[in-house]
Chain A
Amino acid sequence: MATLNDVSQCVLDGDLDGIKVLVQALIDDGTDPIVIINDGLIAGMNIVAPLFKSGEMFVPEVMESADTMNEGMKLVKPLITDDDIPSKGKIIIGTVNGDLHDIGKNLLVMMMESRGYTVIDLGVDVKEEVFSAAVKEHKPNIVGMSSLLTTTMMKIESTIKQLVADGVRNQVKIIIGGAPVTQEFADDIGADGYSEDASTAVELCDQMMCDQSRPEELSA
């Protein structure tokens, strides 16, 4: 009989075929779909994350695990409403105006999704007003921006100014990254956080979401 631990292990192994069999078996057994997601699929990814951080897994393996989790999600999603799908938070991610570098950004998208975040990927060469419009439309918790050039890093600042001008800056946390970007630069331009790579960016977001939710927890 399939167990939730088997599902987690399947995610860890990146076993695309096995996950379909296991998740279907649990559904057929009447296991709550939300439990399958939280204690099977996401639990598997929660094992993957520290292994990646410690260098025991490579990105391609993490991606296989993420693909496996998504394959399982496909079977479970029709059984629940969108509102029931657990999300750790919503993040808008993009490479700034004039910059086409997207590998780091894509890695962050993948890692955020696999850690249970809802991600809106705006792509590359994203103009200031597009970031702002996306914040208004999607109401994210966090906006992530990246730049790989010394000349485009200034577009991070102009994007923040755009968010301020449009009155939405205070609705979101802003994290930034990319080769020429530093913590000092982040502080100077008024970003809320800087991370060196995709892996630490996820941890930064976790911390930010934790900080955001704390007052509610306390009041409860």
Chain B
Amino acid sequence: MAKKFNQLAYTNLDDFVYGSCPNPVTTKSGMVIGGGVVYPEINFTLPGMDINDVTMPKAATIYSNIIEGVLKRAAELYAPGVLVEFETLPDFTEHPKYGIEINRILLNGMKEAAEKYGLKTAIRTTPNDLREFSRPPIMRSGKYWETMLELYEQCAKDGSDFFSIESTGGKEIHDTALVKADIRKAIFALGVLGVNDMEFLWKHLVDLANANCCFAAGDSACGFANTAMVLAEKGFIPHVFAAVIRVTAVPRALVAFEQGAVGPSKDCAYEGPYLKAITGSPISMEGKTAAGAHLSPVGNIAAAVADTWSNESIQQVKLLSEMAPVVAMEQLIYDCRLMNAATLNGQQLMFRDLLVQSDSALDVQAYVLRPDVVMRISAELVKIQDNFLRTRLAAQLTVAELKKAIVEGKVKSDKRDMKWLDKMEKAIESIPDDPNEFYHQMKSELDMDKFIPSEYGL
């Protein structure tokens, strides 16, 4: 039975802060995520190399060195705990034996750090969504679906604390919507295809997590909203379009929590503040300290209500000081120290607002992450339960919010922004209430070679 979120988890904007939330999650090692302290979340990846039976010993050694290095540094800097994310490379999911081996290496490194330094750690295991390797994607069965579940299950049995994924249901249509800045198609991809797939996927993941003493943590609209953010950063699409897509992706991400996910949501899910406002679950976020992986206009504001603070990913390469993951670990720990020190001093709200003010007026994508904006839009989203209508409403409310902010001079804008917002507003208004009717309207515009309707229950 799916959970329903029909009211906000917060009644007071001042309670909506980093480090704590109404429904914290306690890891196997005793870290309470969302219990008052912001923890660093470290992620890392291999340098450029092939993955196969011959190179796996080398890959295993690299991961072993990484985990030893980052946890040693975390202990030296007195980190209150560390969340490790193992976001697999496609080969690790396609060949679960590889992924399972690396996950065990990380778990072993964590165990050694606990014994050697008394360091608390937890691990989030994030397999790849390889279902799109079949073209058109096969979402509900087949080799890629099965290998993904196999990896999840064994990693949970081996001791993983959390499951996450950057799922891709609807991405095959959304990609086109992005490069054409077509909000109708984006809403179809997110609010019909994405939502349907999330219901199917997360029901399975939650069942699997529950059966293996693991938490289903949450998804990310990385392939949707972060792709939009990167395209906007490159000047390919309007920033206002990317900002609207960010919030339009919220109902899709919320489905994981309806199905039983408990957080912390995935680090690159910048829709996290909305999830926290609605579900009261902890969230992971990334910003300035993830610049080694990708640039963004939300470096500070992303931390405003974060419960774990992540670097997204970094390659194992040598920098002047140390290997890059160790550098990232240190940066994250100092970021977290500052936030946690502000909390101890009773200055948490002031610090949150500084994080917000330093970014929110400079880019529309930062503006939509303002806690007051998040609360205002979320309060409307919980009034309806249908996820398609919620997706349409999210887009509608964001367009209205941005138009108002631009007119009032609250956020820097491009001279073309209002034209694009008007265009989106008109397009959203043309979307009918019935998702089936919308699907029939959209059929002529969809490349039916790219997706299989029955894989989305259509």
A interface residues (Cβ-Cβ under 8 A, vs B): 55, 58-60, 63, 98-100, 102-103, 106-107, 110, 123-125, 149-155, 180, 185, 197
A197 B234 Cβ-Cβ under 8 A: yes
Contact with A along B45-62 (1 / 0, CB 8 A): 111111100000000000
Interface size class of B (residues with CB under 8 A): 20 to 34
User: Is B149 interfacial (CB-CB < 8 Å)?
Assistant: no
Known: A58-B235, A60-B179. A103 touches B227 (CB 8 A): yes
Known: A150-B315, A154-B49. A102 touches B179 (CB 8 A): no
CB distance from A157 to the nearest CB of B (A): 9
**Which residue of the partner chain A has the closest CB to B91?**
A151
Residues of A contacting B182 in the complex (Cβ-Cβ under 8 angstroms):
60
B237 A150 Cβ-Cβ under 8 A: no
B48 A180 Cβ-Cβ under 8 A: yes
A60 B51 Cβ-Cβ under 8 A: no
Residues of B contacting A149 in the complex (Cβ-Cβ under 8 angstroms):
89-90
A63 B48 Cβ-Cβ under 8 A: no
Known: A60-B180, A149-B90, A150-B45. A100 touches B237 (CB 8 A): no
A100 B91 Cβ-Cβ under 8 A: no
**Chain B, interface SS category:** loop
B48 A58 Cβ-Cβ under 8 A: no
B178 A58 Cβ-Cβ under 8 A: no
B181 A106 Cβ-Cβ under 8 A: no
B50 A154 Cβ-Cβ under 8 A: yes
Choice from B48, B135, B236 contacting A185 with Cβ under 8 Å: B48
Residues of A contacting B238 in the complex (Cβ-Cβ under 8 angstroms):
58
- A79-B90 Cα distance, complex, nearest whole Å: 49
B89 A151 Cβ-Cβ under 8 A: yes
Contact with A along B340-376 (1 / 0, CB 8 A): 0000000000000000000000000000000000000
Residues of A contacting B91 in the complex (Cβ-Cβ under 8 angstroms):
98, 151
B180 A102 Cβ-Cβ under 8 A: no
B180 A63 Cβ-Cβ under 8 A: yes
A102 B175 Cβ-Cβ under 8 A: yes
Known: A100-B132, A197-B234. A150 touches B179 (CB 8 A): no
Question: Which residues, 34 to 74 on B, are CB-close (under 8 Å) to A?
Answer: 45-51
B interface residues (Cβ-Cβ under 8 A, vs A): 45-51, 89-91, 132-133, 135, 175, 178-182, 227, 231, 234-238, 315, 416
B49 A63 Cβ-Cβ under 8 A: no
User: Could you jot down 13 A-B contacts, CB within 8 Å?
Assistant: A58-B181, A58-B238, A60-B237, A98-B91, A123-B135, A125-B133, A150-B48, A151-B46, A151-B91, A152-B90, A154-B50, A180-B315, A185-B48
Known: A100-B132, A151-B51, A180-B48. A106 touches B175 (CB 8 A): yes
Instruction: Give 7 nearest A-B pairs by CB, closest first.
Output: A60-B181, A59-B236, A150-B48, A55-B235, A154-B50, A60-B180, A151-B89
Known: A58-B235, A102-B175. A150 touches B49 (CB 8 A): yes
- A153-B45 Cα distance, complex, nearest whole Å: 14
**Which residue of the partner chain A has the closest CB to B45?**
A150
Q: How many A-B residue pairs have CB under 8 A?
A: 66
CB distance from B239 to the nearest CB of A (A): 10
- A210-B366 Cα distance, complex, nearest whole Å: 43
- A149-B315 Cα distance, complex, nearest whole Å: 11
B135 A59 Cβ-Cβ under 8 A: no
CB distance from B128 to the nearest CB of A (A): 9
- A63-B177 Cα distance, complex, nearest whole Å: 12
Choice from B47, B133, B175, B237 contacting A58 with Cβ under 8 Å: B237
Choice from B49, B236, B416 contacting A107 with Cβ under 8 Å: B236
B49 A151 Cβ-Cβ under 8 A: yes
Residues of A contacting B179 in the complex (Cβ-Cβ under 8 angstroms):
59-60, 63, 103, 106-107, 110
CB distance from A15 to the nearest CB of B (A): 16
- A149-B51 Cα distance, complex, nearest whole Å: 12
**Which residue of the partner chain A has the closest CB to B171?**
A100
Residues of A contacting B48 in the complex (Cβ-Cβ under 8 angstroms):
150-151, 153-154, 180, 185
Residues of B contacting A103 in the complex (Cβ-Cβ under 8 angstroms):
175, 178-179, 227, 231
**Which residue of the partner chain A has the closest CB to B177?**
A60
- A5-B170 Cα distance, complex, nearest whole Å: 41
B231 A100 Cβ-Cβ under 8 A: no
CB distance from A145 to the nearest CB of B (A): 14
Most chain A beta carbons < 10 A, residue from B91, B181, B227, B235: B235
CB distance from B395 to the nearest CB of A (A): 16
B175 A150 Cβ-Cβ under 8 A: no
- A124-B90 Cα distance, complex, nearest whole Å: 14
CB distance from A60 to the nearest CB of B (A): 4
- A100-B179 Cα distance, complex, nearest whole Å: 17
**Which residue of the partner chain A has the closest CB to B180?**
A60
Residues of B contacting A197 in the complex (Cβ-Cβ under 8 angstroms):
234
B133 A59 Cβ-Cβ under 8 A: no
**Which residue of the partner chain B has the closest CB to A155?**
B50
Residues of B contacting A153 in the complex (Cβ-Cβ under 8 angstroms):
48
CB distance from B90 to the nearest CB of A (A): 6
Choice from B46, B178, B235 contacting A150 with Cβ under 8 Å: B46
CB distance from B34 to the nearest CB of A (A): 32
- A123-B135 Cα distance, complex, nearest whole Å: 10
CB distance from A127 to the nearest CB of B (A): 13
CB distance from A91 to the nearest CB of B (A): 19
B90 A59 Cβ-Cβ under 8 A: no
Residues of A contacting B175 in the complex (Cβ-Cβ under 8 angstroms):
102-103, 106
- A103-B231 Cα distance, complex, nearest whole Å: 9
Most chain B beta carbons < 10 A, residue from A55, A125, A151, A155: A151
Residues of B contacting A59 in the complex (Cβ-Cβ under 8 angstroms):
179, 181, 231, 236-237
A150 B227 Cβ-Cβ under 8 A: no
B47 A150 Cβ-Cβ under 8 A: yes
Residues of B contacting A150 in the complex (Cβ-Cβ under 8 angstroms):
45-49, 89, 315
Residues of B contacting A125 in the complex (Cβ-Cβ under 8 angstroms):
133, 135
- A158-B247 Cα distance, complex, nearest whole Å: 41
B90 A98 Cβ-Cβ under 8 A: yes
- A149-B130 Cα distance, complex, nearest whole Å: 14
**Which residue of the partner chain B has the closest CB to A185?**
B48
- A151-B59 Cα distance, complex, nearest whole Å: 11
Residues of A contacting B236 in the complex (Cβ-Cβ under 8 angstroms):
58-59, 107
